[in-house]
Structure 1
Amino acid sequence: MSAGTTKRGAAPGRRGVSVSYLVAGFVLLALAAIVGREAVEMRFYSSLGPGAGFFPAILAGLLALLALALVWQATFRADTLPRTEFASVGRAGYARIGAIVAGLLAIAFLVEWAGFRLSVGLFLFALFVMVGRYPLLRSALAAALLAAAYHLVFDVLLRVPLPAGVLGL
């Protein structure tokens, strides 16, 4: 092995392909494709100006460009990206990630039945306790205040009705 190369043959200080950034880039590219497909199904223009599909299409295009830039950088310029320690998350980190995903899925399935404020309030409470590791009283207070703030912004100020559920919450 020569003095100017590392074990894998790369120049010193340089990294190969960054797999975590590459995966993130492809996930963002897939998200851009989904948003773009949905945007194409909506009207781009209406008699009043831009239609419902106009801004999502622009955002999907920008997201796709940024995702492609991330894929390119992760493949050819990985040394310029910040190092990630994703592999060092450990079991506790994966459990927290799983709890967040499970909570989001629970909201998606329960929001019509339980109502937006109750389902989001319970999700935020669980998130503060399990992920943030805050005390129970502090978590309950923060979750209740945020759920009330969502109600104030959407239902009262913007007049956007949120699902009330069977309990009317």
Structure 2
Amino acid sequence: MKNLSFYVGLFFLVFAGIIFWQSLSLDYYSEYGPGPGFLPTWTSGIIIVLSLIYLFLAFKKERILFENVLPKGAGLVSLLASMGSLLLFIVIVPYAGFLLSSILTLSLLFSRGYKWYWGLGMSTVVACVVFWVFGSLLGIPLPVNKYGW
């Protein structure tokens, strides 16, 4: 079956079903009103109903094919480069720290549209600013290497 609408509707149905099942273990009411299970129960229930409607529509009239969704040519290469650089960042950030990992992955992404030295310079500035904002201004620690950056 090549109908992407069916798989999207099925994904949301399963996801909402899991959330609904998990929300039943939380208290629906508390001493002061709605408990922690109130919102996830209702939200997942609404998503289940909407995904069932979407699945019905996917079979009746809306057919979205896989080949119409993914880009082709240079767009596909850009998509794969973005996904690959994200995976590279996830793999190397525990070892190299946030600063070096982000400089490397951003320079790989920026070098696709700029000369390599502009890409390296922009990635260094962006990574240093983000590292400074999170570390100094917001007080949120980012992963660091053994040198502290």
Same fold (TM over 0.5): yes
Distance between the aligned counterparts of 2:57 and 2:110, measured in 1?
35
Distance between the aligned counterparts of 1:73 and 1:149, measured in 2?
47
Distance between the aligned counterparts of 1:101 and 1:114, measured in 2?
19
Equivalent position to 1:101, from 60, 83, 86: 83
Distance between the aligned counterparts of 2:13 and 2:122, measured in 1?
34
2:47 corresponds to which residue?
65
Q: 1:102 to 1:28 in 2, by over 3 A?
A: farther
Question: Letter of the aligned partner of 2:94 in structure 1?
Answer: E
Distance between the aligned counterparts of 1:125 and 1:95, measured in 2?
16
Q: How far did 1:21 drift?
A: 5.0
The two structures have a TM-score, normalised by structure 2, of 0.58
Matching of residues 107-126 of structure 1 within 5 Å: 107-126=89-108
SS at match of 1:161: coil
Deviations 1:70-92 (A, max 9, x none): 6666555639x9xx9535x2244
The two structures have a TM-score, normalised by structure 1, of 0.53
Question: Letter of the aligned partner of 1:78 in structure 2?
Answer: E
Identical residues among aligned pairs (%): 23
Q: How many residues align?
A: 129
SS at match of 2:145: coil
Structure 1's consecutive aligned runs of 4 or more residues displaced over 4 angstroms after TM superposition are 20-34, 69-77
1:78 corresponds to which residue?
62
Distance between the aligned counterparts of 1:33 and 1:121, measured in 2?
40
SS at match of 2:111: helix
2:114 corresponds to which residue?
134
Mapped contact 1:114–1:164 kept (Cα < 8 A): yes
Distance between the aligned counterparts of 2:104 and 2:17, measured in 1?
32
Report whether the alignment pairs 1:163 with 2:147.
no
SS at match of 1:115: helix
Q: How far did 1:123 drift?
A: 1.0
Extract unaligned runs of 5+ from structure 1. 1-17, 45-53
SS at match of 1:107: helix
Distance between the aligned counterparts of 2:88 and 2:69, measured in 1?
26
2:125 corresponds to which residue?
145
